[in-house]
Amino acid sequence: MAAMTPDTDISAALAERVRAAAAAHTPLRPRGGGSKDFYGQALVGETLDIRPHRGITSYEPSELVVTARAGTPLAELEALLAAQGQCLPFEPPHFAANDAIGAQATVGGMVASGLSGPARASVGAVRDYMLGVVLLNGKGERLVFGGQVMKNVAGYDVSRLMAGSLGTLGVLLEVSLKVLPVAPQEATLVFELDEAAALRQLNRWGAMPLPVNASCWREGRLWVRLRGAKAAVAAAQKSMGGEALDSDAARYWTALREQAQPFFALQGDESLWRLSLPDTAPPLGLGETLVEWGGAQRWVKQPDGDAALVREAAAGAHGHATLFRSAGKSVPVFSALKPPLDRIHRELKQQFDPAGVFNPGRLYADW
């Protein structure tokens, strides 16, 4: 086992704080580094700082499993994995609030936000790598779900529920994750294509045995990242063509993951929308667009007042739209759930947090 980093366990203090909040019906806002504070509805409740609860508690490189406390800096975890030639393949964004990328993002925030980077379409999302969690429910009780091996399915789906829950179901204390070796070879190809042609080409490649790991289209240029065995990447480069991008490739994909590319800079009353669509959906003609995940994720910038237009276009393409970044929260951030799903969400919330103390209104304003 690799040497563990210094850690601090404040779970008892966190549990006491939760029990006191439940008794007094005081809302709490579990918070790590705050790098995802912009995401979701308006923030409500007293801050419950998770950062002191930190440390890598277990890491078995040979088993491809790591367990970390929720307040552990994400950069610290990634550095430990990199030293062993391993990684979090879903490339979680840091969205650090200062100039040092990764200085504030935490493991708990990574899971609670459920956000994945450019490789998500090919390798899976955060929840696909969740093996187990330890959390505090709304009564301050310590609950354990899942384990540290893929074959342990007891509570496995409950662990996955925490991904993207934005801290509304409980306080994450510890997370066990599957990790993977870093790919032995990588290459980035650039193609001159309009949006419609790029989408058609991505779908053609999607039906072929190619090591396509990530893609991004913007302003007539399609970037494609290949990852895998050296022979597979070399063969794909030869068959796909395009212009090879070498020196700036890593910087390009990091900037995309962290939304540091110029496209993501909002002006005036602009809002950034994330559209989740079938990858075969044609261009929607909503203005400035950036396309990721083989066409399944599309970023659109629109004036604040055009929420209905964006949501109708997404629904018409059999998808949905999320208000990702906005100066205000005048419209719901997430699309309304259909009644059966809404009922399930509310019942889950009631079971995990009966007093409703965790992040009220963070996902939906009325719960």
Instruction: Report if pTM > 0.85.
Output: yes
Same domain? 80 vs 45: yes
63 assigned to some structural domain: yes
Whole-number pLDDT of residue 203: 97
pLDDT at 105: 95
Write down which residue in 141, 164, 181 finishes a domain.
Answer: 181
CATH number of 34's domain: 3.30.465.10
Q: Which residues contact 107 (CB under 8 A, 6 or more apart)?
A: 32, 68, 69, 70, 71, 72, 73, 74, 77, 175
Domain boundary among 130, 152, 181: 181
User: Contact at 8 Å (CB) between 106 and 33?
Assistant: yes
Q: Are residues 202 and 123 part of one domain? A: no
Q: Are 345 and 29 in contact (CB under 8 A)?
A: no
Indicate whether 18 and 162 sit together in one domain.
yes
pLDDT at residue 156 in the model: 44
In the Cβ-directed half-sphere of 58, how many Cα atoms lie within 13 Å? 15
Q: Is residue 277 part of a domain?
A: yes
| Claim to verify: residue 276 and residue 136 sit in the same structural domain | no
Residue ranges, the chain, pLDDT below 50: 1-5, 98-102, 151-152, 154-156
Residues 149 and 66 placed together within one structural domain of the fold:
yes
State the pLDDT at residue 179. Answer: 98
The verdict on residue 155 lying in a domain is yes
Tell me if 1 is assigned to some domain.
Answer: no
Nearest alpha carbon to residue 107 among 137, 66, 60, 68? 68
What per-residue confidence (pLDDT) applies to 147?
74
Structural domain includes residue 351: no
**Closest to 1 (Cα-Cα) out of 84, 45, 71, 58:** 58
How many domains are contained in the chain?
2
Residues 2-49: tens digit of each pLDDT: 444 467 999 999 999 999 999 999 999 999 999 999 999 999 999 999
Residues 18 and 154 in one domain: yes
Which residues, other chains included, contact 51 with Cβ-Cβ below 8 Å and sequence gap of 6+? 32, 33, 71, 106
Structural domain range at position 320: 183-326
Q: Are 89 and 255 in contact, with CB atoms under 8 Å apart?
A: no
Classify residue 318: in a domain, yes or no: yes
Domain boundary among 127, 156, 181: 181
Q: How many degrees, rounded to 5, is the angle at CA 117 between CA 345 and CA 168?
A: 25
Same domain, 256 and 157: no
36 and 124 in one domain? yes
On whether residue 259 sits in a domain, the answer given is yes
Does residue 189 share a domain with residue 133? no
What pLDDT score does 328 carry? 78
Same domain, 189 and 307: yes
How far apart CA 145 and CA 132 sit, in angstroms, is 5
Co-location of 138 and 199 in the same domain: no
User: Is residue 363 in a domain?
Assistant: no
Residues 157 and 231 in one domain: no
